[in-house]
């Protein structure tokens, strides 16, 4: 029998794209802002990118450990582009830095992470994704 772990997270939005988002538990509350001119503001796309980057990074760390590869000092940067009129409304680039890891091992770890990361799995075929190695 396969064991599953369920994580429950509750987040509350008030005011839409220019309101606030906060967790039901104390400790996380953000004021979203409407982008003006060249200013990006703080948007839901930032939160989407932050969640995906953290989840993908966790998958990278897991697969590196499983393959006995030291990935100390790694980073994952998510760039999210909203394209509401397109068939795929998001374009995401996950840029990963794996200092000291040879390219073959790094690409293998990234492929495994992309296969298992819940955000990658949930958006597969629905979001344009590019994974790059720095």
Domain segments of the chain as ranges: 1-42, 43-133
Within the chain, residue ranges assigned H as helices are 44-66, 103-116, 118-123
Share of the chain above pLDDT 90, in %: 78
Identify the CATH assignment for 43-133 out of 3.40.50.150, 3.40.50.300, 3.30.300.20, 3.40.630.30.
Answer: 3.30.300.20
For 34-47, what is the mean pLDDT?
80
pLDDT at 115: 98
Strand pairing of 11-14 and 20-23?
A: antiparallel
Q: What is the Cα–Cα distance from 97 to 95, expressed in whole angstroms?
A: 7
Is residue 41 pLDDT above 90, yes or no? Answer: no
For the stretch 55-80, what's the b/e string if a residue is b when 16 or more beta carbons lie within 10 angstroms of its beta carbon? bbbebbbebbeeeebebeebebebeb
Is residue 38 pLDDT above 60, yes or no? Answer: no
Are 74 and 96 a contacting pair, CB within 8 Å?
yes
Whole-angstrom CA distances from 34 to 15, 42, 95 are 12, 7, 26
pLDDT at 35: 76
């Amino acid at each position: 029998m396969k064991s599953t772990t369920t994580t429950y997270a509750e987040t509350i939005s008030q005011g839409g794209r220019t309101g606030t988002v906060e967790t039901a538990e104390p400790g996380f509350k953000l004021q979203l802002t409407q982008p003006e001119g060249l200013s990006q503001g703080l948007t839901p796309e930032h939160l989407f990118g932050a969640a995906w980057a953290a989840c993908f990074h966790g998958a990278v760390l897991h697969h590196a450990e499983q393959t006995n590869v030291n990935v100390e000092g790694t980073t994952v940067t998510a760039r999210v582009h909203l394209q509401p009129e397109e068939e795929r409304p998001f374009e995401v680039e996950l840029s990963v830095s794996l200092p000291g890891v040879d390219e073959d091992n790094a690409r293998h770890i990234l492929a495994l992470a992309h296969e298992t990361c819940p955000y990658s799995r949930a958006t597969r075929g629905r979001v344009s994704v590019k994974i790059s190695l720095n």
